[in-house]
């Protein structure tokens, strides 16, 4: 289970002077393999290959790129159960969720890129000329571990479809799914140099990509700190920068919502993937009059969570990804108690049944106030903050009282009432009444949640430049 080679110019090669890092299964803390961390010299080689490949790939026909994407889809489908298992082993997501959600959502990005590419008009005639959309060039892609294949696919698929070439640096914590995806792209016959994979850490490989003068665009999904660092490094060569960063999403339960149902759904939404989701509804805003009913419903929902071995199909919550994530979540749970929030369920320490693995107890706090750390900071663990409001105006104010703006959620049987609230939430996505995660509509953040949009048509256009052909006619 090693990832000791990187993929450059169509070949699997050893990284230059590589350091090795253990790949740890977070469910039992045992080493399952090794990843070789690349260097700036590897990034140079990968970027040079991508640059050489750009002329030919950017001038392929739509049909050629569609064919390549369809072969990737076939290869991905054939290996989907294996891809799901790899993600479960490297980052602890329960196998059922990994198969039905994480892997299938990743596959969908390739299918979606095909759908958009089939009819996309790269040129549009205007009275005084033509507007032409062209591939941006060489793209650097830096991705996290929490939805590893989804985040890689949401960048790679539109970049391939538009005619860009690329260098991917996946999370060093989740290198196995990245290696498998590179094998699928290789087997699909994508020409050498179009797609390159350099495994490695952020400060070395990530920063080399972000600052490389031959990279035209860099797209990062990760924490705000990494996003800021990448943008600063990219500024020296005026790169296009796309950032998909953190969140602290509010879930507003309006007074006419079915409280028991909405609270239970909100608790589960906050806990999928052990709470390691950027758009998790981690702040539940409940009318103060419904406080006790909501607390009881939250307790009931927590009791239905099945914690355990993520390889067991019945498990609904696995461990967190790493010791450092475990420590961070523990510290934030402690801060909630110290700052006077009411502990409704869960709390500090490991669940009783777990004697190894980075398992935490799914935790709910009530009476959380906007100044508390658990109301302000992205926890990235199964910790829900219930906050109580007296008026809809106050609910909106609390929802927007955050530096983040990735998502929001509104629950009410009255679509007009909910829409008024949704329009006032300063976030890139607002979900109504448990609408399922959507993979075609734009995804991205307001404020410090990022710049740019992924998924579907919006994600496709992120990889295009705009050229005005003045005086030309169609």
Ligand X SMILES: NC(=O)c1ccc[n+]([C@@H]2O[C@H](COP(=O)([O-])OP(=O)(O)OC[C@H]3O[C@@H](n4cnc5c(N)ncnc54)[C@H](O)[C@@H]3O)[C@@H](O)[C@H]2O)c1
C-beta of 33 vs 246, nearer to ligand X: 246
Contacts of 73-81 with CB under 8 Å at 24 or more apart are 73/107, 73/110, 73/111, 73/114, 74/188, 75/184, 75/185, 75/187, 75/188, 76/106, 76/107, 76/110, 76/181, 76/184, 77/107, 79/180, 79/184, 80/104, 80/107
Candidate list 92, 202, 266, 287; residue touching ligand X; CB under 6 A: 202
CB of 168: closest distance to ligand X in angstroms?
10
Report d(CA 197, CA 371) in Å as an integer: 42
CB of 60: closest distance to ligand X in angstroms?
29
CB of 276: closest distance to ligand X in angstroms?
7
- Cα angle 227-381-168, degrees, rounded to a multiple of 5: 35
CA 252 vs. chain centroid, Å, equals 23
Q: Is residue 156 at the binding interface for ligand X, with CB under 6 A as the rule?
A: no
Candidate list 89, 230, 242, 286; residue touching ligand X; CB under 6 A: 230
CB of 179: closest distance to ligand X in angstroms?
14
CB of 215: closest distance to ligand X in angstroms?
12
Q: Is residue 198 at the binding interface for ligand X, with CB under 6 A as the rule?
A: no
Q: Is residue 244 at the binding interface for ligand X, with CB under 6 A as the rule?
A: yes
C-beta of 365 vs 404, nearer to ligand X: 404
Size of the site for ligand X (CB under 6 A): 34
Report d(CA 156, CA 168) in Å as an integer: 8
Report d(CA 344, CA 14) in Å as an integer: 51
Contacts of 260-263 with CB under 8 Å at 24 or more apart are 260/293, 260/297, 262/411, 262/434, 263/293, 263/294, 263/297, 263/298, 263/301
Candidate list 90, 111, 172, 309; residue touching ligand X; CB under 6 A: 172
Applying CB under 6 A, the span of 84-92, 96-104, 143-151, 309-317 interacting with ligand X comes to 143-151
Burial 398-429 (b: 16+ CB within 10 A, else e): bbbebebbbbbbbbbeeeeebeebbebbbbbb
Candidate list 6, 136, 166, 245; residue touching ligand X; CB under 6 A: 245
Candidate list 207, 216, 377, 462; residue touching ligand X; CB under 6 A: 207
CB of 380: closest distance to ligand X in angstroms?
6
Candidate list 97, 145, 409, 463; residue touching ligand X; CB under 6 A: 145
Residue 121: count of CB within 10 angstroms of its CB = 8
Q: Is residue 175 at the binding interface for ligand X, with CB under 6 A as the rule?
A: no
C-beta of 389 vs 409, nearer to ligand X: 409
Range 401-460, binding ligand X (CB under 6 A) = 406, 445, 449-450
CB of 55: closest distance to ligand X in angstroms?
28
Candidate list 99, 104, 146, 219; residue touching ligand X; CB under 6 A: 146
Candidate list 135, 222, 346, 459; residue touching ligand X; CB under 6 A: 222
Q: Is residue 112 at the binding interface for ligand X, with CB under 6 A as the rule?
A: no
Dihedral sign for Cα atoms in the order 193, 194, 199, 203? positive
Q: Is residue 90 at the binding interface for ligand X, with CB under 6 A as the rule?
A: no
Q: Is residue 249 at the binding interface for ligand X, with CB under 6 A as the rule?
A: no
C-beta of 166 vs 406, nearer to ligand X: 406
C-beta of 241 vs 259, nearer to ligand X: 241
Q: Residue 438 contacts by C-beta under 8 Å, 6 or more apart in sequence?
A: 455
Q: How far apart are the first and last CA of the chain?
A: 54
Strand pairing partners for 169? 142
Q: Is residue 372 at the binding interface for ligand X, with CB under 6 A as the rule?
A: no
C-beta of 87 vs 230, nearer to ligand X: 230
Q: Is residue 25 at the binding interface for ligand X, with CB under 6 A as the rule?
A: no
Candidate list 99, 221, 251, 451; residue touching ligand X; CB under 6 A: 221
Q: Residue 338 contacts by C-beta under 8 Å, 6 or more apart in sequence?
A: none
Beta strands 30-37; 195-197: pairing state: unpaired
C-beta of 190 vs 230, nearer to ligand X: 230
Report d(CA 135, CA 122) in Å as an integer: 10
Site string for ligand X, 304-343 (x = CB under 6 A): ----------------------------------------
| Residues catalogued as catalytic | 244, 278
Site string for ligand X, 269-288 (x = CB under 6 A): ---------x----------
Beta strands 138-142; 217-221: pairing state: parallel
Which positions lie near ligand X, rule CB under 6 A?
Answer: 142-147, 151, 169, 171-172, 201-203, 206-207, 210, 220-223, 226, 229-230, 244-247, 278, 378, 380, 406, 445, 449-450
């Amino acid at each position: 289970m090693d990832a000791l080679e990187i993929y450059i110019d169509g070949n699997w090669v050893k990284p230059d002077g590589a350091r090795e890092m253990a790949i740890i299964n977070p469910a039992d803390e045992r080493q399952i393999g090794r990843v070789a961390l690349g260097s700036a010299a590897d990034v140079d080689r990968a970027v040079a290959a991508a640059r050489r490949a750009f002329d030919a790939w950017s001038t392929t026909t739509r049909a050629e790129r569609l064919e390549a994407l369809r072969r990737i889809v076939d290869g991905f489908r054939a290996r989907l159960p294996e891809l799901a298992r790899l993600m479960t082993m490297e980052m602890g997501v329960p196998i059922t969720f990994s198969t039905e959600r994480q892997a299938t959502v990743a596959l969908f990005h390739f299918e979606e890129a095909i759908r958009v590419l089939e009819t996309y008009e790269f040129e549009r005639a205007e009275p005084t000329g033509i507007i032409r959309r062209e591939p941006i060039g060489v793209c650097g892609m830096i991705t996290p571990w929490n939805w590893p294949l989804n985040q890689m696919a949401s960048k790679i698929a539109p970049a391939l479809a538009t005619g860009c070439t690329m260098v991917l640096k996946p999370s060093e914590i989740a290198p196995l799914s990245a290696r498998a995806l590179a094998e699928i792209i290789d087997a699909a016959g994508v020409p050498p140099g179009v797609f390159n994979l350099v495994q490695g850490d952020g400060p070395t490989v990530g920063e080399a990509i972000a600052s490389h003068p031959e990279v035209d665009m860099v797209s990062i999904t990760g924490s705000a700190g990494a996003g800021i660092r990448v943008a600063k490094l990219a500024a020296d060569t005026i790169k296009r920068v796309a950032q998909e960063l953190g969140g602290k999403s509010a879930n507003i339960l309006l007074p006419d919502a079915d409280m028991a149902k909405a609270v239970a759904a909100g608790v589960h939404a906050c806990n999928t993937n052990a709470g390691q989701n950027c758009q998790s509804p981690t702040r539940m805003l409940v009318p103060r009059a419904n406080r006790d009913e909501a607390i009881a419903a939250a307790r009931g929902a927590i009791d239905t969570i099945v914690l355990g071995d993520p390889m067991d199909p019945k498990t609904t919550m696995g461990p967190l990804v790493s010791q450092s994530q475990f420590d961070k979540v523990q510290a934030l749970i402690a801060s909630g108690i110290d700052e006077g929030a009411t502990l409704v369920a869960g709390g500090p320490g490991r669940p009783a049944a777990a004697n190894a693995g980075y398992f935490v107890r799914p935790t709910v706090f009530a009476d959380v106030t906007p100044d508390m750390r658990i109301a302000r900071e992205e926890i990235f663990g199964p910790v829900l903050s219930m906050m109580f409001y007296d008026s809809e105006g106050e609910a909106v104010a609390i929802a927007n009282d955050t530096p983040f703006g990735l998502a929001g959620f509104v629950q009410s049987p009255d679509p007009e009432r909910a829409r008024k609230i949704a329009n006032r939430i300063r976030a890139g996505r607002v979900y109504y009444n448990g609408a399922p995660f959507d993979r075609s509509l734009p995804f991205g953040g307001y404020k410090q949640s990022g710049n740019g949009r992924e998924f579907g048509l919006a994600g496709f256009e992120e990889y295009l430049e705009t050229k005005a052909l003045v005086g030309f006619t169609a």
